[in-house]
Homo-oligomer: A and B are copies of this chain.
Amino acid sequence: MRNLEMEAAKRLLLLLFLVSLLSISTATTTRKFRARKPCKRMVFYFHDIIYNGKNAKNATAAIVGAPAWGNRTILSGQNHFGDLVVFDDPITLDNNLHSTPVGRAQGFYIYDKKGIFTAWLGFSFVFNSTEHKGSINFAGADPLMNKTRDISVIGGTGDFFMARGVATLMTDAFEGEVYFRLRTDIKLYECW
């Protein structure tokens, strides 16, 4: 009887040791196993109306920097290379500019290529409703001519505390060089 108990105790100790090894190695390699499945997913639209000298009332964006050969009322040639645009755009749940906004998209984009339309974006989605409170911060390259483009969710506050992820942009509609609408499919992979 005593022997058997001793034997069992030894096994338990060995097991304890093995399991502790196992749980340590599991924890340190967590990321490699983590599925690319969003912990939160949301789709929004935002609407950008660039000031063109005539639409001061409706405009939600304005050119504030331009190259030496450009100006701040009309987007410059060479695919707007060098134009810096600041925006405060309404965010809607559907693709209708006149739907009740659920937040504001605020920040800037810079057209950064002579050959084709491409921009670099730095902006936030700012929410202050019963549905969402807080902000989601974005940064990344936006090669506008691709049907969909991925940028990074680099952080968040409030309801989106410490968020990280990827947002897929799609130009949903545009009218000349004054209006465009971006569908934004936000996939968060780090939620706290």
Contacts and interface: CB of A to CB of B under 8 A. Distances in A.
Contact of A190 (B1, B12, B31): B31
Contacts of A104: 113
Interface string A52-63: 010000000011
A11 B139 CA distance: 53
Contacts of A157: 140, 150-152, 166
A113 B103 CA distance: 13
A28 B30 contact: yes
A45 to B, nearest CB: 19
A43 interface: no
A102 interface: no
A64 to B, nearest CB: 4
Interface in A79-99: 81-84, 86-88
Nearest to A67: B62
Given A12-B15, A120-B106, A143-B126, A191 B31 contact: yes
A6 interface: no
A108 interface: yes
Interface of A: 1, 4-5, 7-8, 11-12, 15-16, 18-20, 22-24, 26-28, 30-34, 36, 51, 53, 62-68, 70-73, 81-84, 86-88, 104, 106-108, 110-114, 118, 120, 122-124, 126, 134-135, 137, 139-141, 143, 150-158, 161-162, 164-166, 189-192
